[in-house]
Amino acid sequence: MLNSNIKYPYPLLREEPEDFITSTFCGELEVLREDQGFRVVPRFSVNNDQIMELIQSGVFCYAVQVQCRSTYYRTVEYIKENAPFFIYGGTVHELVELCPCIIATQDYEGYFIDDFVPAFKYSPVNIYENDVVGIGNTIRFRAYYKADEVKKASSVVTVQADSSIERIQVDLNKPNIIVTLPQTQYDTYMKIGTSTADQVTMLTSIISVPVIALALREIDIDDESDYAELSWYKSLRALLDKIADGDPSKVNCLLEDTFQTAQLMLGDNLSASLNILNNREW
């Protein structure tokens, strides 16, 4: 993946002046989730007339490098007049990286811009086809789209029995979160769990909500958790993104209060449980 922090042997236009005195590249991208994938809307601009002339004449071209490590998908989309492009949902999965850039479409000898810093003004600069001459900041999003069925939070919890234990145990080291109950509690759980919808709601309140809240504490916004490759982690992470509409700052807010977020993921289960108890004849 392109990296805006790497030093290049020729002047590189960036979002902040570095190889240029004042010239910058604005590489704003907006990702819109649609039924079959993602529409990417670029809003690119440069504040240098000489570079704009090179772009308009076709010597340079705006572009976006798209990369998804999960599916090994990698491509470059060339942008003309800030026209949107589409990424089909089947080509990407989980984390997708988009890097805005400016690419040379042909060899260009004697590249010189009046706004170069002094270090690049006294020796000829040659640019070759496919060289990156401008780079913006990479943005990242998670590839779920509207046609996807994101699993309900409770579906990542598996309940089992163990006659050798006396209290509930929770194991996060499996693809699903494993909740182990003493045999007698498990037998009661199974009896209630196959009965009415109200009783299932109460069970969810007793077991699934605190377990999901516990699991959410292990989710890292930067995917550096030891559990990041497990199915329960990916499902909850995708559900977080769905609730937050893909906004990382909203995901962070959701992770600050994991019990409240678990309630949200399970359809405000506490409220439903209280209504069941309130309507019961004692």
5, part of any domain: no
Are 164 and 227 in a shared domain? yes
Q: Where are the alpha helices (DSSP H) in 87-245?
A: 183-193, 197-203, 209-216, 231-243
Q: What pLDDT is attached to residue 147?
A: 42
Residue 197 confidence (pLDDT): 67
> What CATH number does residue 68 fall under?
2.60.40.10
Give the residue numbers spanning the domain of 256. 153-278
Residues 210-261 have pLDDT tens digits of: 999 999 999 877 667 888 888 888 889 888 988 888 888 899 999 999 999 9
| Whole-structure pTM value | 0.56
Identify whether residues 60 and 83 lie together within a single domain: yes
CA angle (94 as vertex; 91, 96 as ends), nearest 5? 70
Q: Which of 87, 116, 143 is the last residue of a domain?
A: 143
Assess if residue 164 is contained within a domain: yes
C-alpha to C-alpha distance for 107 and 93, rounded to whole angstroms: 35
pLDDT of 157-216, one tens digit each?
888 888 899 999 999 998 888 899 999 998 888 777 655 667 777 887 888 889 999 999
**Tokens 């909740």 map to which residue?**
179
Same domain (yes/no): 179, 112:
no
Q: Are 108 and 127 in contact (CB under 8 A)?
A: yes
Q: How far apart are the first and last CA of the chain?
A: 64
Say if 229 falls within a structural domain: yes
pLDDT surpassing 70 at residue 53: yes
Domain count, the chain: 2
Residue 101 shares a structural domain with residue 170:
no
Domain match, 166 and 120 both? no
pLDDT (tens digit per residue) in 81-123: 999 999 987 788 767 889 999 999 999 999 999 999 998 888 8
Q: Is residue 1 part of a domain?
A: no
Do 159 and 274 fall within a single domain? yes
Tell me how far the alpha carbon of residue 142 is from its chain's centroid.
3
